[in-house]
Chain A
Amino acid sequence: MSERIIRGRIDRAGTLVSADAPLLRLQQRAGGGLDRPLALPNLARLVALAQRLQRDISRPLYAADDHSDIHALVRVLPDANGASLEISDWRTRAMVQPQVPAIADSAAAPTGWTWECDQQLRMVALRGAKTMPLVPAGWEGRSLSELFELQPDEDGRFPVLRALARQAGFDGQRVRADGAEGARIAMTLAGEALFDATGRFTGFRGVAAPVEDAAVEETPPPRIDPVFGSLPLSDPQFGRRIDGALRGPLSRIIATAETISGQFDGPIRADYARYAGDIAHAGRHLLGLVDDLADLQNIERPGFKAAADEIDLGDLARRAVGLLGMKAEEKGIRIDAPKVDDKMPATGEFRRVLQVLLNLLGNAIRYSPDNSQIWIRVDRVDERAMVTVADQGQGISSDQQAVVFEKFERLGRTDSGGSGLGLYIARRLARAMDGDLTVESAPGQGARFTLSLPARDVG
C-alpha cells in the first residue's frame, strides 16, 4: 500500500488551482492543466457532489488516460471556497503489456533472427537461431532499414515505418538481408513496440523469419497479435494481457458514458442520458469482472502469498464504511461501524483485507432491504482477530451456505450485481493470510460473514 497522499485544490468554479505531480500529470493528459477546469469527469462529478452536499466524500477513483489505468481512493473535502482533494493508494496499471515477455526455455527456439532496435530504428540486438545463417558482423547500431532492405507491401506501404509512426506493433514486413556468409536472404519481419515506464516509445523487438521459397511465401507468416502475441490461452501471460487489453477500453467507455450521463458538456434528452447511465453501469460491471478475473488468476497461481502487514481490523472496517457509506445512504441503510477507539490488531495484507471487507460490505448493502441496518463488529477469540459484517437481508439457507464461496456462484441471482467471484476470492485471500472467511445465516434472518485473521499482541 502506498501511504503517500496526493493533494489537489479546486476552486468554487471547478478550476484546478493546485495539484501534486501525479494529479497534475493526469489532468494534463486529459487535456487540462493548472488554473483550468478539472478535466477528469469522475473526479469533477465527485467534487460537484461534495460541494452540493457540503460534506466530505470518500470514493474509489477509476481513471484512464492514454497510458494507463489509475485506481486510487479519493477524499473530497468541500469548504466555502471550493474543495480539497486527498488521494491515497494511487495505483497505476498498464493497459497492455509494454514489452515482449521472455519466451520460456522450453518453448521452441525461433527459426529466424531475433532483433531489437531503438526508437530511431538503430539495432541494439541481433541474434540468430542455430539453423539460420549467422547474423552479419557489425550490425551494432546500424539502422534497421540499412541492415534489412525493406520491401513495400501490395499498397506500396512499409509496415515497419507505419508502425514507427503509430508506435505500435507490426508484422508482414518483407525484407532482404545479407547473412554473414554474404548470401541474400528473403525474410519477414514482425515486431512489438517497446515502451518505458513513463509510456515513452523506446523501439521495437521482434523476429525476422526466413522466407525459404515460393511455397513458403504463399503461406502467410504466423500472425502476431499486437496485444496477445502468439501466447496460448493456457499461458498466464495471456490472462494478464487480456486483463490489460480490456481494462483500458472499458475505462474509457465508462468515463465517456458518465460524461454523457452527467451532461457535463451540456444538456441532452433525459432518456439519452439514462441510456448513457446504463452503458456506464454495464461497463462498471464488466470492469469489476475483469478485476475479479485478474485477482483470480493472481491468487490461483502457485506460491501466491499475501504480505503480513500489521493492521487494525477496526481501522480497516471504518475505512470500508467510509468508502461505501454513500452507497448505503442511497438505500437509506445505516451502518453501525466499530467506534474510533475500537481496535483489533491483526496480521494480514492491508490492501487485501480492505478488499475483503469492501466485498462483504458491498454485498451486504446490495442485498439488504432499503432503510435497514448493517452491523460491523470486531472481536478477538484466543489467537484469532475477527471482524463480522451482519445484515438484515433475506439470508442464506444452509444449502446455499455450502456453495456460496464457490467460483461463479451467485445463488441463482441473475441481476448485474456481481461476477460470482467476490466471495470465492475473499475466502482465498483470507486463507492466504492464514485466516478464514465463514458465514452464519438462516433464511429471513440476514447473514453474518466473519473474517478471522491471526491476532497481534500490541505492547
Chain B
Amino acid sequence: MDDSFASPGIDAPSPTLSARLRELADYLGAPTAGRLTEEQRALSLGIARRLVADVAAWLHRDIDADALWRDWLRGGLPGAERLAATCFARGEEHRWREQTMLRGAAPSLVAEPEGGPGEDPAAIADKPLSDIERAYLALRIADRRRFDGLGNPCLAIADLDGELFHALLLDVAAWRLVQGGKDDALAAELRDAVRTSFARHGAERGIDGAAQAYHDILAASAALPETAATAIARQDWPTLVALAAAAHRRRYGDMALALLTAEAATLPSLLAPLRIDRAALAPLEASLAMLSGRAIAGGFAGEGPE
C-alpha cells in the first residue's frame, strides 16, 4: 500500500499502523456514523476472496489462487474501493436472506403416500414449462450461481460489471506476471487470456439478464404486481430484488443495496414500478426492520455509535 497515513513524529509507519490511523481518522471524521460489524467485514472479505479465486480460475486454471490471495491480503487488495460496494451489497443481501431463512417457517407435514405414481421415475420426467416458469427457473439458476459449492455467498462472474471484471483480470494477470519473472512469453499468454476472458464475459447472461427476462414476461402477462406481492409474502427476496431491479433498469446488486439501506417510508416509492399494494409491503418492512446493523439513511439500524 503506497498511500500510507503518517502521523507527525512517526517515521515509516507499518501497514498496520497506517491502516489503523486511517481508520481512526475516518472515525474522527464521523464519530456518530455506524461502523461495519465484524460479521459484515467477514462476509465482504469472504466474498472478495471467492471472487478473486474465480477470476483467477477464469483467467488461467494454473494460477495459484491461494498464493494470490495471501499476497493481496498482505499488501492490500488492488482496486479495493471498486470492490467494496459490490462485496458489501452481496454481503448485506446474504445477511438479509440468512435472517429470513433462520426466522422462516418450516415444512408442512405431508402424509407419506403408499407407493403410487409419486414414486415412479417416469412420472416426474420433464413436464413442459410455461414461459413464465422457464424465466423463473433461469432466475433461480442465476441466483444459485451467487453461492459457492458450500453455500457461502459469492459473486457470479457473469453478474460483474464489465469494468470491474476487466480491472480484476488485469490485476490478477499482473500478479501472475510478477510471479513468473516477467517473462515475455508469459506476458503475451496473459494478454491473450485477459482478452479472451473479457470477451467471454460479455457473452455471459447473469442475474441481470435473467431478472429482465422474468420481469418482461410477467409485465407482458399483467402478472407483475401479483408475482411481486407473492414474492414478498413468501419472503422470496431474490425474486423481489430482481423484479424491482429490472423495473428500474438497475443492476441487481444496486437494487438490493437500495432496498437494504432504505427507510421504511421510502419502500413504497422504491417499489412503485411493481404496483404492489401498500399493505403487501408489511412483511418486507418487518424483515428489513429486524435486520440489525443496516446502513440506513440517518443511522446504523440496530446499533449505536461504537
Q: Which A residues form the contact surface with B (CB < 8 A)?
A: 2, 66-68, 92-105, 107, 109-110, 114, 116, 118, 120-122, 124-125, 127-129, 140-141, 143, 145-146, 150, 157-158, 161-162, 164-168, 193, 195-201, 205, 240, 244, 248, 303, 305, 307-308
B110 — which chain A residues lie within 8 A by C-beta?
165-168
Counted as pairs of residues, one from A and one from B, with CB atoms less than 8 Å apart, the total is: 154
13 further A-B pairs in the complex, CB-CB below 8 A; given A164-B124, A196-B234: A97-B101, A98-B101, A98-B105, A109-B149, A124-B137, A124-B141, A125-B145, A145-B124, A145-B125, A167-B107, A198-B234, A201-B108, A303-B37
Bitwise, B114-147 to A at CB < 8 A (1) or not (0) is: 0000111100111100000010011011001101
A120 — which chain B residues lie within 8 A by C-beta?
124, 127
Q: Which B residues form the contact surface with A (CB < 8 A)?
A: 37-39, 46, 98, 100-113, 118-121, 124-127, 134, 137-138, 140-141, 144-145, 147-153, 233-236, 283, 286, 302-304
The minimal Cβ–Cβ distance linking B286 to chain A, given in whole angstroms, is 7
A157: nearest chain-B partner, CB-CB: B119
B134 — which chain A residues lie within 8 A by C-beta?
141
CB-contact partner of A98 in B37, B106, B112, B302, under 8 A: B106
Give CA–CA (A198, B233) in the complex, Å. Answer: 7
Q: Do A166 and B112 contact each other (CB < 8 Å), given the known contacts A124-B141, A141-B137, A307-B302?
A: yes
* B235 lies within 8 A of A127 (CB): no
Could you list 10 A-B pairs, sorted by A, with CB under 8 Å? A97-B106, A107-B150, A109-B149, A124-B144, A140-B138, A161-B121, A165-B118, A196-B104, A196-B235, A198-B235
B102 — which chain A residues lie within 8 A by C-beta?
94, 97, 240
Give CA–CA (A307, B301) in the complex, Å. Answer: 10
CB-contact partner of B125 in A93, A116, A140, A143, under 8 A: A143
A168: nearest chain-B partner, CB-CB: B107
Q: Which of B37, B145, B150, B302 has the most CB of A within 10 A?
A: B150
Q: Which of B125, B151, B153, B234 has the most CB of A within 10 A?
A: B151
Give CA–CA (A205, B147) in the complex, Å. Answer: 12
Give CA–CA (A80, B170) in the complex, Å. Answer: 79
Q: Do A102 and B149 contact each other (CB < 8 Å), given the known contacts A166-B112, A196-B236, A197-B105?
A: no
The minimal Cβ–Cβ distance linking A103 to chain B, given in whole angstroms, is 4
A199 — which chain B residues lie within 8 A by C-beta?
105-108
Give CA–CA (A96, B126) in the complex, Å. Answer: 31
Per DSSP, are chain B's interface residues mostly helix, strand or loop, or mixed? loop
* B138 lies within 8 A of A200 (CB): no
Per DSSP, are chain A's interface residues mostly helix, strand or loop, or mixed? loop
B147 — which chain A residues lie within 8 A by C-beta?
102, 125
A122 — which chain B residues lie within 8 A by C-beta?
137
A162 — which chain B residues lie within 8 A by C-beta?
112, 118-119
Q: Which of B98, B108, B111 has the most CB of A within 10 A?
A: B108
Q: Do A94 and B234 contact each other (CB < 8 Å), given the known contacts A120-B124, A127-B148?
A: no
* B118 lies within 8 A of A95 (CB): no
A68 — which chain B residues lie within 8 A by C-beta?
105-106
A97 — which chain B residues lie within 8 A by C-beta?
101-102, 106
Q: Do A146 and B126 contact each other (CB < 8 Å), given the known contacts A94-B103, A167-B107?
A: yes
A103 — which chain B residues lie within 8 A by C-beta?
150-152
Across the A-B interface, the 5 shortest Cβ-Cβ residue pairs: A197-B235, A102-B151, A125-B144, A165-B118, A127-B149
The minimal Cβ–Cβ distance linking B143 to chain A, given in whole angstroms, is 8
A66 — which chain B residues lie within 8 A by C-beta?
108-109
* B119 lies within 8 A of A93 (CB): no
A248 — which chain B residues lie within 8 A by C-beta?
106
* A98 lies within 8 A of B107 (CB): yes
The minimal Cβ–Cβ distance linking A169 to chain B, given in whole angstroms, is 10
B112 — which chain A residues lie within 8 A by C-beta?
162, 165-166
* A96 lies within 8 A of B106 (CB): yes
Q: Do A114 and B118 contact each other (CB < 8 Å), given the known contacts A140-B141, A240-B102, A303-B38?
A: no
B304 — which chain A residues lie within 8 A by C-beta?
308
The minimal Cβ–Cβ distance linking A369 to chain B, given in whole angstroms, is 42
A143 — which chain B residues lie within 8 A by C-beta?
124-126
A195 — which chain B residues lie within 8 A by C-beta?
104-107
CB-contact partner of B101 in A67, A99, A158, under 8 A: A99
A128: nearest chain-B partner, CB-CB: B149
Give CA–CA (A291, B30) in the complex, Å. Answer: 40
B148 — which chain A residues lie within 8 A by C-beta?
127
CB-contact partner of A67 in B108, B119, B126, B140, under 8 A: B108
Give CA–CA (A95, B104) in the complex, Å. Answer: 9
CB-contact partner of A114 in B108, B113, B149, B302, under 8 A: B149
